[in-house]
Amino acid sequence: MSIKTLNNKLIFIGDLKSINLEIITKSCSYLFKNNIKIILIGDIIKIEEYFNKIKFKVKIFELFNIEDHFNYRNDSIFIFNIGSDIIEKSNLILNQIKISNNLSKFHSYDLITMPIDKSIIKKHYKFNGVTEYLSKINKKNTYMLMKGNNFSIIPLTTHIRLRDVIDKFDKKKFHQDLINIISIVKNSKLQYEEIILLGINPHAGENGTLGNEETIMKKVMKKIKQNIKFIRFKGPVSADSAFNNTKTNQLFISFYHDQALIPFKILNNKSINQTIGLDYNRLSPAHGTAIDIIFKNSSDNSSFIQCMLN
C-alpha cells in the first residue's frame, strides 16, 4: 500500500510529562513529506506551550469536527482540543482516552495512543493499561499484539502480578482466547503462517511433572486443530528455547507478560503495540514515557513512525 493512501489516524498524545511530543515533532518533516496528516487529541494550550518551549515552528489548526482536516493541506498539525486545568490528571487522561476511542469508532480512524504513566491513574482507579481499559469501555475481548520485525507475540495476561498468573489459567477461557485470536488473525490483514503456544511451566511442564497446565493446553489445542487448516498451530513448547530461530510470519502466544516480552524486546529492532479485537485499529509505540530523557533530544521515534505507517 502506498504511503499516500494510508488510513487516517488520530493520535492521543498521552502523558505530557514524557517524550511523546518530542517524538511527534521529530517525525513531522518525514510525515509531511509523505503526505501523512498529524491529528492530535489533547490539551491545545499545553501542546502550544511545549512547542514554544522547544522553539518548534509549525502551523496549528484546532479542529471542532475531526473531518475538518480535509479542508487543509498536510503541512500542519491538527488538534482536537480536550483539556482543562480544573480536572485532576487521572480523570483528564481517562476522559481523553474515552473521547479518542469514540472518535476512532465513529469515524473509522486508526488510533495511536502515546504512552502514559499508569501509576498516576492507579492511585485513584483500578487500571491495568490502555489495552485493558479499551476492552472494558468497548465490552470487547481485546489482546495485546506486539508486532516486531523478526516475530510477534501475544501475552494472554498482561499487567498483573506474577503471583496471580496461575490463578488466571482457566481451561474454558483459555480455549475461548485461542479461538478469538485465531479468528482475528484469519479475518484481518495480519499475515501469520504459524502460531506457537508457549508452555507456562519450565520445560513446558516436563510431561506433567512440573504442573498440569500444559496437559490441559494440549487437549484444548488438539480440539482446535481439527477446525483450522489455514495456519500451522503448535505447542505448548518450552519458552527457554522457543525463540532460537524466529521468523517474521510467526506469532507466539504466552500466558504471562514477561515470558514473551523479554525475548521480544531483545530480538526485535523495530516494534509496535497493536490492540486487536476492537472495531478499529489501535496502535501504540513500544516504549514508555521515558521521563529521564525529557528535553534531551535523545528519543527514538522509529516505533511511532512504524505506527503511522502501519
pLDDT at 84: 77
pLDDT score of 3: 41
Between the CA of residue 82 and those of 105, 182, 243, what are the distances in Å?
17, 37, 43
pLDDT score for 2: 36
Residues contacting 47, CB < 8 A, separation 6+: 13, 16, 21, 40, 60, 79
In this structure, are residues 161 and 128 in contact, taking their beta carbons and an 8 Å threshold?
Answer: no
Per-residue confidence (pLDDT) for residue 189, from 0 to 100: 79
- Nearest-angstrom CA–CA distance, 25 and 6: 20
Instruction: Name the stretches of the chain with pLDDT < 50.
Output: 1-5
The pTM of the full predicted model, rounded to 2 decimals, is 0.90
**The predicted structure's pLDDT at residue 133:** 95
Res 276: pLDDT? 94
The pLDDT value given to residue 73? 84
**CA-atom Rg of the chain in angstroms:** 21
CB neighbours of residue 135 within 10 Å? 19
**Which part of the chain is CATH 3.40.718.10?**
1-136+278-310, 150-268
- Express each pLDDT in 110-130 by its tens digit: 999 999 999 999 999 988 899
The CATH code belonging to domain 150-268 is 3.40.718.10
> What's the CA gap between 282 and 49, in Å, rounded?
27
The H or E element that residue 85 is part of is none
Write the CATH number of the domain with boundaries 1-136+278-310.
3.40.718.10
